[in-house]
Structures are given as structure tokens and as C-alpha cells.
Amino acid sequence: MRYSPFTDRIAGKGVAAWDIHHAAVVAEREGRDVIVLSIGDPDFATPAAITEAAVQALHAGDTHYAEIPGRPALRQALATRYAELWQRPMAAENVCTAVGAQNALFATSMCLLQPGDEVIVLEPMYVTYEATIQASGATLVRVPCPAANGFRLDPHAVNAAITPRTRAIFLANPNNPTGVVLDASEVQALAELAIAHDLWIIEDQVYESLTYDTAHLSLAAVPGMAERCVVVASLSKSHAMTGWRVGWVIAEPGLIGHIETLMLCMTYGLPGFLQTAALAALDCHDQVTTQMRAVYRRRRDLVIASLGDCPHLSVLKPDAGMFVLVDVRRTGLSSLDFAWRLFRETGVAVLDAEAFGAPAAGFVRLSFTLGDDKLTEACRRIRGFVEGL
């Protein structure tokens, strides 16, 4: 028996990146003393009002098929939020709900790309992008955002990577793992390239509300981008709702129609009681995200303060998100060896950031999704590990 070549295309290196995390989860389940900083899953409980909205919807019998792109009220609520953020008209027809941002990214890729297309990705990039893009048959063209440049993009390098086959630029803004948020000139430069070369931009904004020191600027807000910018986001990070799998795509109505057709074949839409919870989440959006942002900012600063003066390490302060990149090159270990030895010798699980692309080789990614005490202890163990090398 044989499988389709599709299975090869979705088996990227990113899949193996999670090995250390899976080992840590197993160790934790066995009751071993581990601190899992290898995944971006907030430790907060989902705010009670949101959970309550879902429970009430279930009790009220909201257990049947729901509209595939999402119910009008939810689509409209999302359209209203983005109309305010981007200062341009938006309607329910610009929105399709999805089973988390990942499902939204996959559906977007399948509806926009085909074999022979080239897609520019800015590395480091989120680990699922490789498989998500390759699933469509398109080819990734990797443009490095070098560590020496603070992992910021070089618009000239993006320009140089564009060929007649280029169809899209795929990026996360804010970025995971680097926490870089595009500044106004970077947003403008990418928008100009997209318009000049008639490209789609797929902008993954799952960390949009966790931006600390700078304002988040979306490519979708730039004049001329409405018809070519596809924004993907979710409640996973903003509302500590990773397990609820509520996400969406914001795009021009033609693409939304195609994504709806694909969702019909893949998910048959987001369950109705989750849509009710999503509406409740949007209702308290600013209140919830303001609180979360404050806690994450404090934790970020705690990690920076705890590891900032650790010999042989350099810690990068992220502008956004829930991750810190730590440069381990001066320890003499590769980032993969560092991560595995740290885990085996101290129980602290971090990810080798090279899994996110070659520019992040020599860095490990720590998530600050645990409380202050655990983070402090994790930093203490990391310091002890490095000092003992």
C-alpha cells in the first residue's frame, strides 16, 4: 500500500522540533520534577464569563450544526473589531471562522497556492509554516532575518527573493519565536513590495494583543492592501483559550467564499457553543487582554532580569508574545544539545530555536507561560546548568 506524496510534503522538520516537548510532557505526567517552558500554552484559566457562555449554550441545546463560516453575529463582531483597528470598512463577508489560527493558515494556503508557486517566508518562522505551505504544493523561499540584525527583516533581501513565480509572503507579526513586531517602515516596505509585484500577504497575528512596548501595526491597514492581505488570528493566546480552537481568517469576500467551501470539506464549521463563547470573549476583549499583557510583561522582565547577567548567555527582550530567545552560542554547545542536556540534567524543557529556521541556530526558546515562582526556579536551574558546563 502507498500514501500520497502529500504526506511527504506535510512531514517537515518542524514536526520533530516537538520531541523535547513531548518528552517533557511524558516526564511531567510520570510525576518527575520538570518545568515545561517548551510550549506557548498560557497557564491562565480561560476567563470564567467565557466558559460560562459555552456551558449555557450547551445546556440550551446549541449542539447542532452551525453556519460554516460562522454565525452572522460573530462574523460581524470580528468585522467591527478589525474595522476599528484598521480604520477601514469591514463586513461579516470579510470573515470566516476556523478551528484555531492553524486551521485558518492551512485553509488559506490551500486556497491561494498551487504547485509551482513560490512563497516567501521570513525566517525564523513558526514551525508549522513549512508543512502548511508545502501542503498546497508551493515551494518555500526562505529569507533570513539574521540574529545580528535583531532578527528584523531586510526589505532588500525580500525584494531580491521575488521572482515571477512568487505568489505570496507568509509571516507572523508579532513573530514567534523572536517576538519582533514590524515597525512602520517595515510594514510600508512589505506593502509596497506586495503591491508592486501583485502578491498576497498572509499575516499571522495570533500574538497581536500581546504587544508590549510598541504599537502593533497590521499590513492590512495600509491603503491598497485590503484586497491582498489575509489576516489570520485566534483566541488561543489573547484569552488563554488554546484548547478551544477558535480562530478566523479576515480577507476579501472572494477568498472568504473559497475558504468557506474548504471548511465545508474539512471541519463543517466551528461548533455553535464555541461561537457563543467566542462572542463572549470579544465582548471582554480589552479587559482580558490588558490584564494578560500586564502579567506577561512582568514575567518577561523577570526572565530577562534573572538570566540577563548569566555568564555565556545573552537574552533577547521580545517586543511581543510569550517567548524569550536565549543565545547559547558562547556555551560551546549547539542549541539542540543545550536544550536536551538542560532537560536531562535539570528538568527544564526549552525548544531548540533552530527548528524555527537557520537564523535562530544557537538560540533556545523559553516560554513565559508559567507563574513567577516556576519561572524563577527555571532560571535558577538554567544558570546552575550553564555555570556547571
Ligand X SMILES: Cc1ncc(COP(=O)(O)O)c(C=O)c1O
Site string for ligand X, 46-85 (x = CB under 6 A): ----------------------------------------
Q: Which residue number, 251 or 313, has a Cβ lying nearer to ligand X?
A: 251
Does residue 247 interact with ligand X by CB under 6 A? yes
Residue 206, interface with ligand X (CB under 6 A)? yes
Report the nearest approach of ligand X to the CB of residue 126 (Å): 4
How many whole angstroms separate alpha carbon 101 and alpha carbon 99?
7
14 binds ligand X (CB under 6 A): no
DSSP labels, 203-247: EE-TTGGGB-SS----GGGSTT-TTTEEEEEESTTTTT-GGG-EE
Length of the chain: 389
Site string for ligand X, 163-182 (x = CB under 6 A): ---------x---x------
DSSP of 246-300, one letter per residue? EEEEE--HHHHHHHHHHHHHHTSS--HHHHHHHHHHHHTHHHHHHHHHHHHHHHH
Of 251, 242, 241, 319, nearest to 91 by C-alpha is: 251
| # of chain residues touching ligand X (CB under 6 A) | 13
By CB under 6 A, residue 357 contacts ligand X: no
Instruction: Based on the shown chain and the rule CB under 6 A, indicate whether residue 40 belongs to the binding site for ligand X.
Output: yes
Residue 242 is a binding residue for ligand X (CB under 6 A): yes
Q: Distance between CA atoms of 226 and 221, rounded to whole angstroms?
A: 7
Task: For ligand X, give the closer residue by CB, 211 or 236.
Answer: 236
Supply the minimum distance, in Å, between the C-beta of residue 42 and ligand X: 11
Percent helix, strand, coil in the chain, to 5, is 50, 15, 35
Q: Does 352 bind ligand X (CB under 6 A)?
A: no
- Shortest distance, position 312 Cβ to ligand X, whole Å: 28
- C-beta of residue 259 within 8 angstroms of C-beta of residue 251: yes
Tell me how far, at minimum, the Cβ of 175 lies from ligand X, in Å: 7
Query: Which residues make up the interface to ligand X (CB under 6 A)?
Result: 40, 100-102, 126, 172, 176, 204, 206, 234, 236, 242, 247
